[in-house]
Amino acid sequence: MKILLPSEYRSPNSYFSCLVNEIAKESEIATEGQNFWTSNIPFNIVHIQWPEELFWWREVSQQDLKKLEERIIYWKNRNTKIVATLHNALPHRNHPNDRQLYDAVYQNADAIIHLGRRSFSLYPQANNFYVPHPNYNAQITVDPKPHERITFLSFGKIRKPEEEQQIVDAFLRLNRQDTALIITNSLLGKTPNFRKREFLKKRAYLKKSKMLAERNITFKTGQLSEQEINDYFNSADIIISPRTDSLNSGVVYMGMSFGKAVIGPNTGNINEILQTTGNPAFIPKNVESIAAAMQAAAEDFQKLGSRNKSFSDKEFSIEKVAKMHMDIYRDLLK
C-alpha cells in the first residue's frame, strides 16, 4: 500500500511523526505538503491532517480553493482514497476562507477520522471513524519529582488571554494553601513595556505580580525544551487544558501519559475523553466551575493519575492507533 501523508515530518507536533513511523512499518509512506501538489506517484491513500497545512499555514484565497478542488479531483480520478483527520472544527485563526477550505477537504473525503465521537455531528453525512489520539510514551520520561504542594500545571500554547485568566481566577477562588499553580507559555507573565510616564501602571503591575507569586502562582513564558517539559510534568499532580472552545486537546493525553490527573473544558471531544476516564471537566470562562474541577481533582489526584496511566497505556498506544488507521485504509480499498 502506498500512502501519502502531506504534513511536515519534522514538525514540533510529535503526533504526526510517531504515526508515520508506526504506519511505515507495513506500508510505503511519503510525507510533506509539496507532494500533495506535485507528486505523480499512484498513491492508494492520501491522508490529510490539517487542511491549512496544504498551504503552509498561510491565508488561502479563492484561487487557492479552486486549485485545491482541482487537485482533489485529480487524486480521485486516479482511484486514490482521500482520508482526513479532524483535529479542529476550524483553524485557530480568523481568515475569511477557512470555512470553505475545511469543507473542500472534509466534504470530499472518503473517510474522516475523529479523535472522539462527539465531532461526528460536524459532518453527519460523512464516512466517520473514531481513532483516539496516541499517548506520548515514546517522547516522554516518567520520573515523578518530590514537591511540597499539590501542583496544578496549565500546559499548551495560550491562544488568547482569557484562557489563562480563567485559570488564574479559579485558582485564587480555590484558595488552598497546600496548592500551587504553574502556567507555561504564559501571556500574562510577559512584562509589558511601560512608558516613562506610566509609573502608576508599572507599580500596579508589580504589585499584582507580587501578590500572585505569594499565592503560589508561577508564570513561565517562552518555548520549553523537551527536558523542561518532562521536568514540569513530573513535578505536577494535576494537568490543566486551559481551552475555552477547542474540539480536541493533546494536553489531556500528555497528562495521562505521565500518569497525572487532568482537567479541561466540557467542550467537544475533550469532554468525551474526560467523562470516559472520570476526570473533572469545567464550564469554560466559569470561574466557579473551574475552581470546583480543581477541588475535585485535588481531592483524588493520586487515584485519577494511576488510573489515567493504565488507561492511556492500554487504549492509546501508538501501535493500536496505527493499526486502527491501517484497518480504515484497507476497508476503503476493498
Q: How does pLDDT run across 63-73, given as a tens digit for each residue?
A: 999 999 999 99
Tell me how far apart the alpha carbons of residues 249 and 318 are, in angstroms, rounded to a whole number.
Answer: 17
Global pTM? 0.93
Section 128-139 average pLDDT: 98
Burial bucket for residue 16 (CB in 10 Å: 0-12, 13-18, 19+): buried
Q: Which residue has the higher pLDDT, 316 or 161?
A: 316
Highest mean pLDDT among 41-55, 174-188, 207-221: 41-55
- Which CATH fold topology does 150-315 show? Rossmann fold (3.40.50)
- Which CATH fold topology does 2-134+317-332 show? Rossmann fold (3.40.50)
pLDDT grade for 12, boundaries at 50, 70 and 90: confident
Tell me how far apart the alpha carbons of residues 201 and 205 are, in angstroms, rounded to a whole number.
Answer: 6
State residue 213's pLDDT score: 85
How do residues 307-333 score in pLDDT, each as one tens digit?
A: 999 999 999 999 999 999 999 999 999
Q: What are the sequence ranges of the domains in the chain?
A: 2-134+317-332, 150-315
Across the chain, what does the average pLDDT equal? 95
Burial bucket for residue 116 (CB in 10 Å: 0-12, 13-18, 19+): buried
Q: Are 158 and 143 in contact (CB under 8 A)?
A: no
Share of residues in the chain with pLDDT > 90 (%): 87
Could you give the strand order of the β-sheet that contains 2-5, starting from the edge strand earlier in sequence? 28-31, 2-5, 45-48, 81-86, 111-114, 128-130
CB atoms within 10 A of CB 162: 15
For the ranges 62-76, 199-213, 229-243, which has the lowest average pLDDT? 199-213
Section 293-313 average pLDDT: 98
Highest mean pLDDT among 185-199, 204-218, 219-233, 252-266: 252-266
State residue 194's pLDDT score: 57
Section 137-155 average pLDDT: 95
Fold matches, 2-134+317-332 and 150-315: yes
Tell me how far apart the alpha carbons of residues 84 and 141 are, in angstroms, rounded to a whole number.
Answer: 31
State residue 110's pLDDT score: 99
State residue 276's pLDDT score: 98
> Would the pLDDT of 97 be above 90?
yes
State residue 209's pLDDT score: 78
For 330, the enclosing helix (H) or strand (E) is helix 318-332
State residue 2's pLDDT score: 98
Find all residues with CB under 8 Å of 90, minimum gap 6, and list them. 98, 99, 102
Q: Kindly compute the dihedral angle of the four CA atoms of residues 28, 32, 38, 44, in this order, to the nearest 10 degrees.
A: 30
State residue 192's pLDDT score: 62
